Amino acid sequence: MHETSASSSTRDDHVSPTQPGTAVTRTTRSAWYRKLYFWVLIGIVAGVAVGAAWPKTGENLQPLGTTFISMITMVVTPIIFVTIVGGIAGVDDLRKVGRIGVKSLVYFEGMTTIALILGLVAMNVFHPGSSIHANPATLKLTGNAAQYAAQGKAQGFWSILTEIVPTSALGAFSTSNDLQVVFFSVLFGIAIKLVGAPATGIAHGINRLGLVFFAILRVIMYAAPVGAFGAMAFTVGKYGLHTLTSLGSLIGLMYGTSAVFVLVGLGAVCALFRLNILAVLRYIKDELLIVLGTSSSETVLPQLMRKIERAGVPEDVVGLTVPTGYSFNLDGTCIYLTLAALFVAQATGVHLSLAQQLGILAILLLTSKGAAGVTGSGFIVLAATLASVGTIPVAGIMLIFGIDRFMSTCRALTNACGNAVGSFVVAAWEGVLDRRAAERVLGGRAAIVPTPDRSLEPAEV
């Protein structure tokens, strides 16, 4: 994103751009009832009420949630493609792309390791599974849990590598495999730079195509409150609020550990790079509420990319860090995996030494990246890990299958927070974060947004 400077003005929300390519929006405080987060919150509350009062009706409302998620998924991969290709095509030096990629992976591995360790510590301190006393011989895998376990056992070390490369360019888009789309998009962007002038028209065309996809996204987001309502009504109607009390200690530990990770762990990283975690969370509150309602972080991936770019993170950094982070920076999933693995061990009476627990952590460092973007990926990775360890019965995942919907909401919220922070951190680490824009946008004042030729249009902050 272009550097800008502020001119003195009697109005605090006015910025005068000094270079072409930027536009200025004034922060207009619209009525609270016109805010997206208000209507999404209404949808969530209404969904809980309907699901609790009329469970069968709540279950029947599932198509409202799944249809909204499908609409978002429809534009996710094209937006990833145009953002990454546009970002790489606009970089003067391809070595910068390499630096951003390496720094992103270093940051992702560091934070996911911290998340895994934090989950390990939490389980050893609180022991929520010790009071279950489940008999492993009576546990049987059934339904979707059996399917996920079978997929998990089939996962191998090389699965991480083979999952990245699509069998065809169009195949990555048709299967909505984000990681494969990222791989193809990076190659396509690099190829445009290598071809040079003859490919300039293609790069401009892709940027214009980005405008269209973001316009589609803007229309889809009007359905967010309805999608949140349907998804929440289904969850409460099908699983019931009583599910929250049966294994409440594990659910509470999951949410508490994730909150510590976000506020303390991510907060410390933000402070190191002169950012405020609370300001970042406040800025993405609309997206977090949508994640809360739909239990999926992918529903906000395109909108999250758009907002982060408006907050001073260059397009090339956003294009590489956010989509890649959705596969490699799953902090919430990592916390869940250590909690779940040790909970099953405690519940079935399996004692694990410190060395065995560290062995599980080492396995999770690999397997947590192996099933990104796959439905039921949490259970697939958990089953793969338990099968690799051998001492914990894989069938024990049935103990937590019923509460997975509530756990997945926490996973998705934490993943979204981690990837938003990750983009800011990598941009600051690379020295390309527009501090002035970040301070003003995160502070709730005027936003400097790219003009249409940068594939974004002004939108309300």
CB 69 within 8 A of CB 294: yes
What is the per-residue pLDDT across 368-379, written as a single tens digit (0 to 9) for each?
765 454 445 677
127 assigned to some structural domain: yes
Lowest mean pLDDT: which of 180-194, 294-308, 398-412?
398-412
72 in a structural domain: yes
**Which domain covers residue 99, as residue numbers?**
22-454
Which among 351, 374, 399, 355 is positioned nearest to 250, based on CA atoms?
Answer: 399
Q: Is residue 2 part of a domain?
A: no
Distance in angstroms (rounded) separating the CA atoms of residues 401 and 145: 7
Q: Give the C-alpha separation, 51 to 235, whole Å.
A: 7
Q: What is the CATH number of the domain that holds 339?
A: 1.10.3860.10
Q: Is residue 9 part of a domain?
A: no
- Condensed to tens digits (0 to 9), the pLDDT of residues 59-106 reads 999 899 889 888 888 888 888 888 888 888 877 778 888 899 899 999
Cβ atoms of residues 311 and 437 within 8 Å = yes
Alpha-carbon span 304 to 411, nearest angstrom: 17
Domain membership flag for residue 268: yes
- Residue type at position 391: T
Sign of CA dihedral 250, 252, 255, 256: negative
Query: Is residue 56's pLDDT more than 90?
Result: yes
Phi, then psi, of 17 in degrees rounded to 5:
-70, 140
In a domain, 169, yes or no: yes
Identify whether the C-beta of residue 440 lies closer than 8 Å to the C-beta of residue 9: no
Alpha carbon separation from 79 to 65, 87, 185, 304 (Å, rounded): 21, 12, 11, 11
Look at residue 412 and tell me whether its pLDDT is greater than 60: yes
Query: Is 11 contained in some domain?
Result: no
Q: Is residue 416 part of a domain?
A: yes
Q: How many domains does the chain have?
A: 1
